[in-house]
Structure 1
């Protein structure tokens, strides 16, 4: 037993945030036309049945017809009791049933379930949508004219024979007969079966003619067949050679890619090893140069100390005297030279690339900005000049004084254009990326100026500054050279040796101590500098590490050049490991598809191409020969194999159509027999039920209704022993008889222990007041005695029906106004 307790409409048609509570018994829903009665009924049906009519016609498609007026998604909830358990269905309806979001809640336990593909109406109401509309939903019946007995009889006939009032046995039989006629006419000279048999006979005749033709030209055909096979073999050989060439090319590319990947991985391994020290790759060469300068200085100091120690005998006399001032000048110049060389190396290898990158970015951003601003300015100038031209034309036509105004306007426009163009050239660029680059360059410039005592800024030309550095380095070398040459020395070490030879023993010891102290200090600097990459404890470790780094940098540079050369050899513009690995995998698939084995060495590519050209010539000769041979042969449009395939297909088609035709004949016979069986089994019980209900709703005027064999309607008055034909009854009585029949069918389909709500859509619309009273009396009596449905939902747009319902049901009526 199912009782609907409440519906909540979120969005459906005209309704939004709308709810109705129902009671057990009579629920009367009143509203004028277009107030939404049909919409409510459609909502209840769609809550239980998702699969409804699908049509491009909006009126026949409820998912389109009842789209919410507010443009939101359709949806709502319905609460009902099923066999003593309360349930709630919540559904958000999509454009198709598959897009619906539905959940079922057991209000007693709180359990929430998601329904499977089975319709909820089938689960809870025990019937599908068609059964729902035939049984517990009775629509507007309307009146029948007394002269339209055939219409009533037809509907009753349909109900008895097919179970549907709109589908008749006659229509079904007519469709079967029409289907049979389409397959084979009564005379047997038309239809698809006849056409299929004719086509089969023609195929058989064609097969005989082709066989005779082939027998008469067997020699030509045999030679044609052999040459055709030879041609196909040559083509196959050519295709194999082409596949081998393709496979060979792919294989060599694949091997080169694998070799390139190996080189790239080795390069990355070296890079990774170089990066272990924490010095960025772009600064590594500059770092090595600085370390090399310190290393060379230490080596020079070691040589100087050794020379000093070897020549510290006071008995030796110097022939050339070197003063302290001259030596200090020499030493200062050499220190400046070393400082300039290190600063120049840093400026050239680190700062200049950063400046060039910064200037290129700045230029690009500036050009983009100027292009936009100047385009805008040019538009404004064009507008100004156009206005000046218009004033000039106006002056020529009307008043000369206006020409002067036009000239002044043009001059002002040009003046402002030139002024703004100059401002555009002077304006700066404010860009986050450029600002970060500028900040980085400024930091490097500050380091350069502080570390090496330079005075460089971004306004200077970097090439000119670099040239100036090289010039100063050269000048200092020349000064050092002039100082040592003046003392008849060739190198700095010789000059220092000569100087120390002139010192006293005490001075020599002091000087030796100072040299060693300076040497130790420079050694510490050297070790600290090298330790920035990796910690070292001795000069030897530092020298070995420096040599290893130099070798790795050289090897990295050489490997990169080799990789670029190899990449150019296979026409690759980018060197990306992932893309190369993907390309190798693609080549593997292509080689697998080509199905060429590389276990044996493939022939030389040029040799295979020569063979392909030879095969091409042989194929051309064979094709020309076959063309000449074909002219001698009368080759049918289809060969015997094709004809036999078509024959088998047509035989199968004829057999299939014949089987279908025989099935239609059987269906026609079964339809006639089943209709008679339905009348025999279903008719008596239906007549009895219809008579009981008809007697009640007519207030006892009639006690029985019969549906005759020819489906004519017969009614027996209470005070008469004879049945009267429908032609003698009033329209209202015929309406009541038809309602009694529908209610009887509902009771027969839905048994007492499966009571469901009954939905009535304005079934009293053609009744007079008395018949309405009799109808309500019938429903009230049945509800109280629980003879049929205990819950009724009736919809109406007639006020007199509402008033009569209130008189009958009083407080037991649930009146709902839309």
Structure 2
């Protein structure tokens, strides 16, 4: 066979009769070859969808190369050589194209179809084949399946494979659950509906009674409302009479207010009192004159302060040693200079000193000439003149020094006398202070002049405005000769104007009140009137309460009426309840019959299990004993295919879950092989496929299993895929065993 399937890309596998050992490392395609063989026989279900924890074959074995999935299988069945091919035309339907022909010809095998190819060739359905002869390491345990049950039933009964206990039991369970399952199903729904119908009937009857009571209460409250409204009508008539009296009083008050306002208006006209605007303006002018007077007083105070500052500045100028001088003159006087004229006494003393030294020089020269020093002739002639010149020069220097000191002393005496100091810096500072005092005096003089002018201007303005104001006030108040009298007269005028305004306002209010009362006061009803016994407030409060109760009663009656209309007729509800009771009775009868059928089916299945399980257990015990070297002698299966093993010499059975992984795999394998003997058709020699089914076996038990498989291979083809080399080594030299080693990426 050749395959484009999963990781297999145009790979081929040549198999022979008997036992085939196919050795390959992990991840080289052993399980893929097994899945390919199963898919070639039974096809791929394209309707399966991927879900959590499960990947369908159409996705799991999609070719890695991206090519379309395809395969070819050549086999010999009952002496006929057949070629089966499956290919993919649509990606959504892998292996959807099927063809089966006789090998070497184009003649189609009519009894083989895409859906039933495997069942026609092997004689069993896919479910039976997967749970018997198709043995994976991860699928050694036996699970319950409807197809396997039908096959077993056909073997131990009539031979028909149309019935299955699990399918029939599931159908009966569905029917029972449909009628009753805990709180769901037809019966609980009908019982709940009947309970609801009975509850609605009771509610309708109760609502009818409540509606009758609500109507009676509504009528009683309506009568009470009418009585209270009549009582309030009496209050209205009584209050109308009182409003008529109030209207007459309001008319009298309006007339009196109007007369008072008219009298005040005539008095103001006779007194020639000005309007409020004029009064306000004149009083404002008086206030402004007060403000101006205060401003005059402030200006005069500021003028006096400026004059005082001017006097202080002039005193500072007069007290300076430079008083009477200009700023420039004071600046020059502050820089001391030598006297331009030398006093006579100093000049005479200077001349006397010079003449003295000149005489001394002449005497010295004369002595030198008269004594005649023994010197050379030229030197004796020059020396006296040199002495004369030197002494004379000394006398000139000393006389000049005397004059300088005498002039300096004279200058210091004059400075100290005038400024009190001879220090030039201090004299310069006095000059600067004098110049600053001159500037201050000039500034004070300007400020005094400005303040005096401002004070005079404000005073003139005050006088002029005061005279103008008094002239205007005397037009209507001749006695106003000063501002205080004018202000008092204006206050009196304002009071009279305010009295007139209040009187006019009161008259307008009284007139408005009369007009409103005349509009609101109803006509006085005929007949005698009497004051009601209780207050209007008490009657209104009671009427409010009764109306609220009436509204609540009417609302309750309306709600009950609506609920009665929505709930339906009690007769109809009773009829519906009777129908529901009959339906419940019929369903209870059906439920009892189905329950009896389920119990009968369970008893029949137990009887079938009792007939099949001993044969299967016996055959599984024989194989398990060979596989374990006689350590276990018995195998027991329950109705759900749960396995237990009996150790040799120990009557206590061990559940498969308590066995070691290797022993449990041997137990499952023995049971699967026993099922193959009992379930698979004997005339078809259905091949057995094992995918690493011996992986957990130790060497001794693996050898036992291989011997059994070698013996079984005498009557059917067996494909053993393994990742170990011990199987091939075990059959080394055995010509009846075909050994292939799959290596490399496939």
TM-score, structure 1 as length reference: 0.39
Larger Rg: 2
| TM-score in terms of structure 2 length | 0.42
